[in-house]
């Protein structure tokens, strides 16, 4: 990079577009830290801003929406959770602490920064995705686990993204915490595991939660591909999935995660099928109704979002529809009220927004 040749973007412009931390993290994670040449990549800075910093901030923002300070531990001790999602993210966090610490102790910033993107992706697109309802419903273990993970992650990221980490720390710290994240102690893993050793050793001695969760996520990935090939949206409920297992069966908590993510009712184990995963794509009238109910809820949630309502804002919903539409809403009324945060649903003529679901039409109006 040469000022004379002007072969790199103006840093001030990058600061304005992506923030100081994104550029800092990019430089600390690129080969230049090992004395190697680089071709400066603005796209890589943008990717770090989106996949690491923005995702981290988005998870924090979600936690703040449903925050309950009374549940937040005043120390770094956390009572073990029985939920496999909480166990899994805590094992992932412990592995992250070890990997980052290992890189720092070796003065290898490329090694130290490498695991953050995957961990934050796991935190955002799997743990939080599958724990949203638990947090919204005020489940203590989910809220305490997420709080612990976010504060620990802020401390781990502090040397690499000092401003974002400080911002998160100031939002989440309690009266017993240091005034700044840069004055806080470095996190320590409870067990000094050899890197990925839990994947190599005997199954009974490994972190079985990590392995089983990896299997569950693989099934989900294959199932989503099957849905896409069949042209069936995830909101359309399906009856079952067959899984060709070569090992032991997963515990019910993992099976429930798979069912929720793929929107299926049952999972069967079948060692005679040709493929690893087979979806039953037949849509019965009952399943079609469930799919229509989910489409209706999604449409109402989109209207709420366009109105700028927060998740805690309670609404009244007015619907103008035919007999089939009324029957659908009445059948799933309890679930609809809970999901869209409505105090009631009234059928009456209105000048609201039209929602179409196949042959069904709903004219809907929301009042806060």
C-alpha span between 331 and 343 (Å, rounded): 17
Packing angle of the helix pair 20-29, 11-18 (nearest 10 deg): 110
pLDDT at 231: 95
pLDDT at 12: 79
| pLDDT > 70 in the chain, percent | 90
pLDDT at 194: 42
8 Å CB contact between 336 and 298: no
pLDDT at 190: 57
Q: What angle do CA 311, 312, 317 make, to 5 degrees?
A: 80
Looking at 1.10.730.10, 3.40.50.720, 3.20.20.80, 3.30.499.10, the CATH number of the domain 11-195 comes to: 1.10.730.10
C-alpha span between 113 and 289 (Å, rounded): 47
Closest CA to 155 of 110, 231, 96, 221: 96
**On the CB side of 143, how many CA atoms lie within 13 Å of its CA?**
18
Domain ranges within the chain, ordered by starting residue:
11-195, 204-279, 298-367
C-alpha span between 130 and 263 (Å, rounded): 12
From residue 36, give the alpha-carbon distance in Å to each of 27, 31, 108, 240, 287: 12, 5, 13, 52, 57
Q: Which residues of the chain have pLDDT under 70?
A: 1-2, 33-38, 74-77, 189-206, 246-248
From residue 195, give the alpha-carbon distance in Å to each of 96, 192, 199: 10, 9, 9
Q: What pTM does this model have?
A: 0.87
């Amino acid at each position: 990079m040469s000022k004379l040749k002007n072969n790199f973007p103006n840093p001030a412009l990058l600061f304005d577009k992506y923030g100081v931390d994104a550029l800092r993290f990019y430089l600390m994670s690129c080969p230049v830290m090992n004395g190697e040449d680089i071709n400066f990549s603005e796209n890589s800075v943008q990717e770090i801003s989106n996949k690491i910093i923005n995702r981290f901030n988005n998870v924090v923002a979600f936690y703040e929406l449903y925050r309950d300070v009374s549940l937040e531990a005043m120390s770094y001790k956390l009572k073990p959770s029985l939920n496999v999602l909480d166990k899994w993210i805590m094992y992932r966090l412990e592995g992250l602490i070890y990997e980052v610490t290992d890189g720092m102790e070796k003065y290898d910033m490329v090694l130290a920064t490498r695991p953050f993107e995957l961990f934050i992706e796991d935190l955002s697109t799997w743990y939080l995705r599958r724990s949203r309802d638990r947090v919204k419903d005020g489940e203590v273990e989910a809220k305490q686990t997420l709080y612990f993970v976010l504060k620990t992650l802020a401390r781990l990221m502090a040397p690499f993204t000092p401003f974002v980490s400080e911002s998160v720390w100031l939002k989440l710290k309690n009266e017993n915490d240091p005034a700044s994240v840069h004055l806080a102690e470095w996190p320590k893993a409870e067990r000094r595991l050899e890197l990925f050793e839990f994947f190599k050793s005997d199954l009974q001695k490994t972190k079985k939660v990590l392995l089983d969760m990896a299997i569950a996520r693989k099934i989900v990935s294959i199932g989503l591909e099957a849905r896409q090939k069949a042209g069936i949206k995830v909101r359309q409920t399906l009856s079952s999935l067959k899984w060709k297992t070569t090992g032991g069966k997963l515990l019910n908590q993992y099976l429930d995660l798979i069912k929720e993510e793929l929107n299926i009712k049952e999972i069967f184990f079948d060692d005679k099928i040709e493929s690893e995963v087979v979806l039953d794509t037949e849509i019965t009238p009952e399943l079609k109704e469930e799919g229509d109910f989910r489409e209706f809820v999604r449409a109402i949630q989109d209207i709420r979002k366009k109105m700028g309502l927060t998740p805690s804002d309670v609404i009244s919903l007015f619907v103008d529809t035919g007999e089939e539409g009324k029957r659908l809403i009445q059948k799933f009324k309890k679930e609809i009220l809970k999901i869209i945060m409505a105090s009631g649903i009234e059928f009456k003529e209105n000048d609201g927004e039209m929602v179409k679901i196949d042959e069904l039409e709903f004219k809907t109006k929301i009042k806060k």
